[in-house]
């Protein structure tokens, strides 16, 4: 059973690694974007509330996101574990999420941090070829990411839950290092 949180900047490969691990472990790979889209598409009560904010172009409030995550984690396919991708995004969300898990006598096993030097991230993101991906905008997004994420890394590190994986290696080597970290706890 694995309950994992994947942390990493855009272009770090966390989606690739989470999808691979999800298949191997037979546990769901869950992103807040997926939760929002599915809840809206299925017209759940929470999905309809989220749609209201999304239709206005507003951010969905944290509490509603927590409710959606809690609802998703209560589904049958998530009972033997899960991989959260990109959530929580900051230490405040992590603290609230931790309280939510404790209230259900649960915890996350590890927060997996895929570390990749900025120069490689910029190169990877520029190769995607998106119109809004210029070196300048990518650098700005990475600065914002670092500002929000460092306290999150500190949060899980202080709890002994953080596992650092070098994400600037071949995909297979990252997968191997990830598997090693999960089996040995190092």
170 is in an annotated binding site: no
Report CA-CA distances (Å) from 52 to 49, 66, 123: 5, 16, 37
Q: How far apart are CA 22 and CA 34, in angstroms?
A: 15
Q: For residue 12, say whether it is annotated as part of any ligand binding site.
A: yes
Count of residues making up the chain: 186
Whether 64 and 49 have beta carbons less than 8 Å apart is answered as: yes
Please name which of 54, 159, 50 lies closest in space to residue 97, comparing C-alpha atoms.
Answer: 159
Q: Check the annotation: does 169 bind a ligand.
A: yes
Question: Binding site annotation covers 37?
Answer: yes
Coil, helix or strand for 155? helix
128 known member of a binding site: yes
**Cis omega before residue 95 (within 30°)?**
no
Name 98's Cβ contacts closer than 8 Å, sequence gap at least 6: 107, 108
Residue 163 annotated in ligand binding: no
Annotation-wise, does 44 bind a ligand?
no
Residue 93 marked as a ligand binder: yes
Is 86 annotated as ligand-binding? yes
Residue 60 known to bind ligand: yes
Q: Is 141 annotated as a binding residue?
A: yes
32 marked as binding residue: yes
* Residue 14, annotated as binding a ligand: yes
15 is in an annotated binding site: yes
Is 13 annotated in a binding site? The answer is yes
Binding site members: 11-16, 32, 37, 58-60, 86-89, 93, 128, 130, 141, 169
Binding site members for AMP: 32, 37, 58-60, 86-89, 93, 130, 141
Binding site members for ATP: 11-16, 128, 169
């Amino acid at each position: 059973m694995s309950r994992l949180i994947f942390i990493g900047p855009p272009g770090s490969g966390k989606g690739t690694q989470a999808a691979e691990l999800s298949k191997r472990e037979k546990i769901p790979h869950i992103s807040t974007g997926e939760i929002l889209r599915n809840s809206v598409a299925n017209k759940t009560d929470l999905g309809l509330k989220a749609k209201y904010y999304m239709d206005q172009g507003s951010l969905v409030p944290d509490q509603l996101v927590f409710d959606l995550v809690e609802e998703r984690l209560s589904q049958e396919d998530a009972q033997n574990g899960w991989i959260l991708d990109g959530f929580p995004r900051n230490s405040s969300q992590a603290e609230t999420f931790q309280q939510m898990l404790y209230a259900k006598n649960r915890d996350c096993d590890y927060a997996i941090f895929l570390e990749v030097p900025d120069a490689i991230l910029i190169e990877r993101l520029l190769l995607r070829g998106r119109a809004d991906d210029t070196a300048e905008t990518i650098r700005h997004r990475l600065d914002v990411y670092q500002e929000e994420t460092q306290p999150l890394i500190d949060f899980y590190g202080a709890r002994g839950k953080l596992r650092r994986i070098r994400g600037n290696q071949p995909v297979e080597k990252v997968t191997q290092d990830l598997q090693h970290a999960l089996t040995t706890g190092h």
